[in-house]
Structure 1
Amino acid sequence: MHTIAFAGLGAMGLPMAKNLLVAGHRVRGFDLNPVALTALASAGGEASSDAVAAAQGADVMILMVVNAAQAEQVLFDSGALAAMPDDGIVCLMATCPPAAVERIATRVMATGRRFVDAPVSGGTAGASAASLTVMAACERSTFEAVRPVFEGLGQRIFHVGERAGQGATVKTVNQLLCGVHIAVVAEAFALAAKTGVDLDVLLEIMSGSAAASWMLKDRGPRMLQEEPEVSSAVDIFVKDLGIVLEAGRDAQAALPIAAVAHQMFLATSGRGEGRADDSQVIRSYYALNGKPQQG
């Protein structure tokens, strides 16, 4: 059993923290949302008054926060890192730019503590089902030390490298592919709609053809709904594809297709639809090309 400080009890963080409790770990949660803290306490966890209280005596601190700036605020500005034991392990599991992850890792390791760059994939469904994919970059010995924690969170756990930033890079590539797949499905559907093709029939054909992808089968049906349930918001891909482009600039790698996809998500958000399901990036294609009237 590990004592885990968990910062960030949002849509993914709270179910992740609950799954760690199920796996037998002691979890101290910290979040600015009192409802989330109450939910964790009801599940058997401990609601901490602040990040320092959560970090004291913790073997591992998991950061499932919004961005790198929040991670730095929790670790350094609040004093949580200094409150951890000298051999504590910090796991940054949020999606952050690789360069920012490297910067945070350098500061953490300068104190003698260990750092794991371990973003996850699988969304809220994977967080709830403890079926996340974990992409961890750190020294092998640190990875083995924290593996039991990851096993409480996911089913596909990978050691992707020894250096902080490599895990973030793998997650960045994942988000590049996901965002582009969603956008190109929307583009294809918009073309078909423009010429009057029945999109339900198109989806059935494409789902069984060489053009099929996981994103087509998952997001395609939601593109045919006016107001689908939100499983992942447009604004998430505005952020994540922005990280993709930042990583490309840092690596001096041209990413023209990712840039176009980012613009389509950004346009959707700019019309006030950032909280809509990410499948609704199709609305930007309809705005450009016109959506045929039904019936």
Structure 2
Amino acid sequence: MRVGFIGLGLMGEPMARNLAGSGIASSLILQNRTRAKAEALAAEIGAMVAQTPRAVAEQADVVITMVPDVPDVEQVYLGKDGICEVGHPGLLCTDMSTVGADCVRRIAGALAASGAGFVDAPVSGGTIGAQAGTLSIMAGGLTGSLEALRPVFQTMGGKIVHCGEAVGSGQTTKLVNQIVGALNLEAVCEGLVYAGAAGVDIEAVLEAVGAGAAGSWAWSNLGPRMVRADNAPGFKIAHQIKDLRLALEAAEAMGLSLPGLRLVLGHFEQTRDAAIGNGELGTQAMIAAVKNA
């Protein structure tokens, strides 16, 4: 199986490493907006480098894309030298970014016109999950297409869930994940701010709450980082804002209000706007906005 991988950022690079290490690809073709990054990784893991997404699709049976935002995904598939220029029967593509259902439906439609297949498969688990190969993969698309991709997904994920036959089902599920995760993070921030103001032993609070009903991934993984003021990104605030805006737009289109989503989105935006570069911080940095609310 010849596999192409486009997008080698915080998530894409470890995912590509795990794919290469699995040995399931007879050849691996990398492409990245910054070519030097693709060349460095290719030299390390024994992959090839292509100049454009089109060139990747010309050489691959399966193409994986993992890029930051809707315009990036649309450029990779629909733009000049994009994948859709050379779509053909037998080509199977999957986008693992978080870009919303409307975007992936447009891409799937363009690929279908050429006979190529498509599955949307956004992921959850952050850089920790990407590095460990334990991501949760939320797939939307035909069962046959998913089964063809399953060996590839298994190199990157610990849980693969078929969310529906319709393309976009994975994206909708991922936005549910983002809403719940963001609101949980809001709760973690508020709990730690409360504990700090009360003057109790923060380490004891982390241990006790983490073992109880309020324990969560965010509490155990991001709570200690908040206490240490460690804002290194596992998932960037800028990307979280993008995801929550997608969720809010979809909710509004369905006539839903979701006040909690609006609240936490506002706190992320306040954190981003407080200083230049804050959008590049990890989502745990939102605790500053909660303290100042």
Deviation at 1:134, TM superposition (A): 1.1
Alpha-carbon RMSD:
1.6
Q: Give the C-alpha shift of residue 32 in structure 1.
A: 1.8
Give the deviation of 1:95 after TM superposition.
0.6
| Aligned match of 1:220 | 223
**What is the letter of the counterpart of residue 17 of structure 1?**
A
Match of 2:62 in 1: 60
Q: Contact conserved, 1:241 with 1:262, CA < 8 A, in 2?
A: yes
SS at structure 1 position matched to 2:272: helix
Kindly report which structure 2 residues correspond to 1:204-219, keeping only aligned pairs within 5 A, or say none. Answer: 204-219=207-222
Range that drifts further, 52-61 or 79-88: 79-88
Q: Normalization by structure 2: what TM-score?
A: 0.92
Equivalent pair of 2:63/2:92 in contact (CA under 8 Å): yes
Cα drift, residue 31 of structure 1: 0.7
Q: Map 1:86-165 onto structure 2 (within 5 A).
A: 86-165=89-168
How many angstroms apart in 1 are the aligned matches of 2:68 and 2:126? 14
Equivalent position of 2:202 in the other structure: 199
* Map 1:220-259 → 2, pairs under 5 A: 220-259=223-262
Provide, for residues 122-181 of structure 1, a one-character-per-residue CA deviation record: whole Å limited to 9, x for no partner: 111222222211111111111111111111221211111100111001111111111111
> How far apart are the structure 2 equivalents of 1:164 and 1:188?
38
Give the match for residue 20 of structure 1. Answer: 19
Bigger shift: residues 138-147 or 207-216: 207-216
Aligned twin of 1:274: 279
Q: How many Å apart are 1:238 and its aligned residue?
A: 1.4
Q: Say how many residue pairs are matched.
A: 287
* Identity percentage of aligned residues: 34
The residue type equivalent to 2:239 in the other structure is I
The amino acid of 1:284's aligned partner reads A
In 2, the alpha carbon distance for the partners of 1:107 and 1:176 equals: 29
Greater Cα offset, 15-24 or 77-86: 77-86
Measure the CA separation in 1 of the matches of 2:212 and 2:8. Answer: 40
Structure 1 partner of 2:2: 3
Query: TM-score, with normalisation over the residues of structure 1?
Result: 0.91
Deviations 1:258-279 (A, max 9, x none): 1111111110001122222211
C-alpha deviation, 1:107, in angstroms: 2.0
1:244-265 superposed Cα distances (whole Å, 9 cap, x missing partner): 2122123222211111111111
Q: Give the Cα separation in 1 of the matches to 2:37 and 2:255.
A: 41
**Contact 1:233/1:274 (<8 A) preserved:** yes
- Structure 1 pair 267–88 and aligned structure 2 pair: CA distance change class (3 A): same
Compared CA separation, residues 22 and 227, structure 1 to 2 (3 A): closer
Cα distance in 1 for residues equivalent to 2:230 and 2:127: 19
Q: Measure, in 1, the Cα distance between the counterparts of 2:290 and 2:82.
A: 47
> Do the aligned partners of 2:271 and 2:286 also contact (CA within 8 Å) in 1?
yes
The superposition leaves residues 10-33 of structure 1 with CA deviations (integer Å, 9 ceiling, x where unpaired) of: 111122122222222121111121
Q: Corresponding residue for 1:33?
A: 34
Give me the whole-angstrom Cα distance separating, in 1, the residues matched to 2:34 and 2:4.
16
Alpha-carbon shift at residue 198 of structure 1 (Å): 3.5
Tell me the distance in 1 between the aligned counterparts of 2:207 and 2:160: 33
What residue ranges of structure 1 are gaps of 5+ in the alignment?
Answer: 289-295
Tell me, in whole angstroms, the C-alpha distance in 1 between the residues paired with 2:215 and 2:19: 35
Number of the residue aligned with 1:293: none
